[in-house]
Amino acid sequence: MTLPATIKKMRPSRAEPSVPARNRSRLVILGSSKVGKTAIVSRFLTGRFEDAYTPTVEDFHRKFYSIRGQLYQLDILDTAGRQPFPAMRRLSILTGDVFILVFSLDNRESFEEAQRLRQQILDTKSCLRSKPGGRRDVPLVLCGNKGDRDLHREVQPAEVRRLLGAGPARCAYFEVSAKRNSSLEPMFRALFAMAGLPGEMSPGLHRRLSAPHGEALHQALRAGRQPRAGPGGALGVVAPFARRPSVHSDLLCVRAQAGGRAKHRERCVIS
């Protein structure tokens, strides 16, 4: 799918606002083809649903927030359902902070692929340095999309519960419908809570700015000014013309997360 370009009328920004590293996160969306990954991203960014399907190669989006006097940046990587380069998928996982695994409730093969991807995420992230005193947690949500097609269901809730009960990893599960925009809001809230991110990042908890107001917010943020957030206390704007960081910069990020120690470098080889 191609996202509705509500922000195309905005002029290119000369520079993006500077966000502290601790307030920058990357959300990676994974799953088989035609399960609705891009539709979920579209709902998150614009509130819209596009029924036309266009295969995703890899889409990158960036959203800035002003929340309680602090700036936050959320990068969103919408990955291809069929990744011809396994090394790129591994790199996406290594650089991801939070994950949404999408499968279609009317497609058993997509559920089986989600199981494989879940294990790949856990195995891949295990090569990075653990938190002091324990393992590294991976905030992850399993998302059964197309909940509006109950008559064609091929995956039962009991099967998902058995999957989530296997292994130590935290993982929430939601059945959603991107088409009807149902259950997406609680899913995002749960994901951000698991990651320790502000709940206001969820679409329903901040004021989403239109293109003209978004440009004004960009100018204020670039100038270091805190905009007036209004009654809700939080604002969000999609960055126009955002570009995916280079592979080189992602590799440097992985090296830094691995701590530079030899055993971690060996386990985190991108191949």
pTM flag (> 0.75): yes
Across 152-169, average pLDDT: 81
pLDDT band at 245 (very low <50, low <70, confident <90, very high): confident
DSSP, res 150: G
Across 118-134, average pLDDT: 72
Closest CA to 36 of 105, 114, 104: 104
Across 240-260, average pLDDT: 79
- Give the CATH number for residue 214: 3.40.50.300
Encode pLDDT of 184-231 as tens digits.
999 999 999 999 999 999 999 998 876 666 666 666 666 666 666 655
Q: What contacts 33, CB < 8 A, 6 or more positions away?
A: 55, 80, 81, 82
Q: What is the pLDDT of residue 15?
A: 64
- Answer with the residue of higher pLDDT: 57 or 108: 108
Query: Is 8 a domain residue?
Result: no
Across 237-266, average pLDDT: 73
Query: Is 119 a domain residue?
Result: yes
Domain that holds residue 34: 21-246
Q: What contacts 179, CB < 8 A, 6 or more positions away?
A: 39, 49, 51, 146, 148
Encode pLDDT of 76-90 as tens digits.
999 987 766 778 889
Q: What is the pLDDT of residue 50?
A: 80
- Euclidean distance between CA atoms 165 and 173, whole angstroms: 11
DSSP, res 8: T
Query: Is 57 a domain residue?
Result: yes
Is the dihedral angle over the CA atoms 186, 5, 197, 163 positive or is it negative? positive
Helices (H), the chain: 37-46, 86-95, 108-125, 157-165, 184-195, 211-222, 247-257, 262-267
Query: Is 231 a domain residue?
Result: yes
Q: What is the pLDDT of residue 76?
A: 97
pLDDT band at 134 (very low <50, low <70, confident <90, very high): very low
The number of domains in the chain is 1
- Euclidean distance between CA atoms 28 and 11, whole angstroms: 27
pLDDT above 50 for 2: no
pLDDT above 70 for 65: yes
Query: Is 260 a domain residue?
Result: no
CB 185 within 8 A of CB 178: no
Which of helix, strand or coil describes residue 44?
A: helix
Q: What is the pLDDT of residue 17?
A: 76
- Euclidean distance between CA atoms 236 and 199, whole angstroms: 12
Query: Is 6 a domain residue?
Result: no
CB 42 within 8 A of CB 49: yes
Query: Is 227 a domain residue?
Result: yes
Backbone angles phi, psi at 12, to 5 degrees: -60, 135
- Answer with the residue of higher pLDDT: 259 or 147: 147
Q: What is the pLDDT of residue 135?
A: 43
Encode pLDDT of 83-112 as tens digits.
667 788 899 999 999 999 999 999 999 999
Query: Is 122 a domain residue?
Result: yes
Mean per-residue pLDDT over the chain, rounded: 81
- Euclidean distance between CA atoms 159 and 27, whole angstroms: 26
Q: What spatial distance separates the first Cα and last Cα of the chain, rounded to whole Å?
A: 29
